[in-house]
Amino acid sequence: MEPVRIVCATRKSPELFSKESALSRSLEFIVPSGEIQLSVYPENTLGLPQIYNTEIRKAKDNPVILVFAHDDIFLTDFFCIERLRAALVSFDLVGVVGCRERIPYQPTWCYVDTQWTPASSGILSGAIASGHGFPSGTQSVLGPHSAEVKLLDGVFLACRSHVLIEHEIYFDERFDFHFYDMDFCRQFEAADLRMGTAPISIVHESVQNYGSQPWLSSYRDYLTKWGG
């Protein structure tokens, strides 16, 4: 059975990550010691794809389940590892929330245009909460979990390393923070691999930063690469 390795890049120092980050605090609370490997990149200034690709290459000869997670997510699920392994039986790439359809020029998994028209509730899948700790400020059950999707939120992505190696899928390093997840999903779709949501409960402590200048620049690069 492959070990589970959570990969996290953080701007915090090692000490502050351990003491203050939502991910570290929740892992200490819900995951038994030794059940996972934690690969943390503290005081990070690199784009997330560079970090994530490093971990993919490290796993070439020692397959693992890679979980790419932000440091500001609080895991509230005692059985998150079991649920993750179960989801990866059905899907090649797993997240917690996503969209079951993808339309041309869609800028995010949850909006269908840059006027921020929400995706129809009928095509969304999974659940996520926002706020600090648990119970959080807002819980959003978006749609049935364990559904096949076309796009996933990059706050939590998991896959088997050997799938990435065999299909030569890596994160595109031109997308340092915005659109790396959209691009990653498009690569899975192009390779005819299955993506889906898992019933894993998390609280996301940050708000999305859609529409900023760096976001718009990445959106243009994304459209140039994929044509919509």
Which domain covers residue 83, as residue numbers? 4-226
Q: What is the pLDDT of residue 33?
A: 65
Tell me how far apart the alpha carbons of residues 215 and 219 are, in angstroms, rounded to a whole number: 6
Q: What is the pLDDT of residue 216?
A: 94
- Confidence check: pLDDT of 209 > 80: no
Dump pLDDT digits (tens) for 17-26: 999 999 999 9
CATH classification of the domain holding 70: 3.90.550.10
In the block, which residue shows the tokens 């919509």? 228
CB 170 within 8 A of CB 59: no
Mean pLDDT, residues 129-146 taken together: 81
Nearest to 130 by CA among 210, 73, 71, 177: 73
pTM of the model: 0.95
Structural domain count of the chain:
1
Q: What is the pLDDT of residue 138?
A: 77
Dump pLDDT digits (tens) for 38-53: 999 999 999 999 999 9
Q: What is the pLDDT of residue 132?
A: 80
Dump pLDDT digits (tens) for 121-135: 899 999 999 888 676
- Confidence check: pLDDT of 137 > 80: no
Q: Which residues contact 145 (CB under 8 A, 6 or more apart)?
A: 125, 126, 127, 197, 198, 199
- Confidence check: pLDDT of 35 > 90: no
- Confidence check: pLDDT of 228 > 90: no
Tokens at 162, concatenated: 């050997």
- Number of separate helices (H) and strands (E) present in the chain: 7, 13
Dump pLDDT digits (tens) for 73-94: 999 999 999 999 999 999 999 9
